[in-house]
Amino acid sequence: MAVSIVFFFPPSLLWTLGLIAGSFLAGGCVAGWGFFLKSSTPENERIKTVADLLILSNFLMILCNIVAIHISPLVGLVLSMLMLLGAFLLALKLPADNNVESSDSAEPEKNYISIKWTIMFLCLFIVVITINSGLMYQVVSPAFAHLESLTSWYWALPYIIAIYIMRNLPGTVSRTYILYAAIAMIGLSFIGFMILGRSVASYITVNTLMLGAFGVYDLFWWSILGEMLDFHKNPAQVFGFGLSANVLGILVGGMIGKAILSADMNSPNPHAAGAYCSLCDACSSASFT
């Protein structure tokens, strides 16, 4: 909350420092939440807890986005700080020693096993999938920036719906085939982006396929990380590795998307460069906002 105060003033070096500090602290909060997920949620209920977290957090994010776009960015900033205040008050109700293990803990040391390779392969999988998220933020979303009244609230709605459906699936339903379907949805969304126009129907089609798939996969690896917490002493370390892989994939995807746009704009083919003119204008507007 203290870091966010600098954004009420004109852009300066303090904004850069504030973004770095705020991002670091937010990452620590999310990773540290793993302690309470491990100790306060039964093992077989963690997927529902994680689903509720993703649904509610994205709903609040949509609310902040709508307020910032349609009312005022400063009002949106105030709303986000009020949410932080609410989180602070709720955190005061959490027991301070909720996950502190005493020296005479009944849980034997041998219950902890090495999950280094498991986390490594999971993180690699997360990076590969979330590269598509980075491409979406850098290329796909700005291409539909002219549909501001729709994109301000619909962009995360398929994500929420997909997670809600996954959350309430019967235990007898195999989720493996849903993961395969989600990969296909990501591929179809990019195909749709290439061959369809930039109309409302195109945006709904592309965004529904892409964000629905992202919802399936986010719930998948968040719940897998939740199941891994019982095999490691430090839940924050498990969550930290997994969620940093998520952000790394988005970063790499964004860099790839920027490189593609840059290459097309520098292309000697005027038709190739012209095709991306409106897209880059939208990117610039979105980045400035």
Q: Assess if residue 244 is contained within a domain.
A: yes
**Side chain identity at 37, as an amino acid letter?**
L
Q: Assess if residue 10 is contained within a domain.
A: yes
Range of the domain at 208: 3-95+114-288
Render pLDDT for 220-251 as a digit per residue (tens, 0 to 9): 888 888 888 777 778 888 888 888 888 888 88
Instruction: Dig out the tokens for 232 from the structure.
Output: 């490691």
Q: Assess if residue 109 is contained within a domain.
A: no
Q: Assess if residue 107 is contained within a domain.
A: no
What per-residue confidence (pLDDT) applies to 266? 63
Render pLDDT for 145-184 as a digit per residue (tens, 0 to 9): 888 888 888 888 999 999 998 888 876 777 778 888 888 9
Q: Assess if residue 166 is contained within a domain.
A: yes
What per-residue confidence (pLDDT) applies to 114? 66
Closest to 244 measured CA to CA, from 69, 123, 63: 123
Evaluate if residue 274 carries a pLDDT over 90: no
Supply the mean pLDDT for the chain.
Answer: 79
What per-residue confidence (pLDDT) applies to 48? 86
Residue bearing tokens 């803990």: 105
How many domains is the chain built from? Answer: 1
* 3-state secondary structure string across the chain: CCHHHHHHCCCCHHHHHHHHHHHHHHHHHHHHHHHHHHHHCCHHHHHHHHHHHHHHHHHHHHHHHHHHHHCCHHHHHHHHHHHHHHHHHHHHCCCCCCCCCCCCCCCCHHHCCCCHHHHHHHHHHHHHHHHHHHHHHHHHHHHCCCCHHHHHHHCCHHHHHHHHHHHCCCCCCCCHHHHHHHHHHHHHHHHHHHHCCCCHHHHHHHHHHHHHHHHHHHHHHHHHHHHHHHHCCCHHHHHHHHHHHHHHHHHHHHHHHHHHHHHHHCCCCHHHHHHCHHHHHHHHHHHHC
Render pLDDT for 188-204 as a digit per residue (tens, 0 to 9): 988 988 888 888 888 89
Render pLDDT for 88-138 as a digit per residue (tens, 0 to 9): 998 888 776 655 444 444 444 445 556 777 888 888 888 888 887 777 777
Evaluate if residue 55 carries a pLDDT over 90: yes
Q: Assess if residue 60 is contained within a domain.
A: yes
Evaluate if residue 285 carries a pLDDT over 50: no
Render pLDDT for 60-77 as a digit per residue (tens, 0 to 9): 999 998 898 888 899 999
Q: Assess if residue 108 is contained within a domain.
A: no
Model pTM? 0.76
Q: Assess if residue 250 is contained within a domain.
A: yes
Cα separation, 197 vs 167, whole angstroms:
33
What per-residue confidence (pLDDT) applies to 60? 92
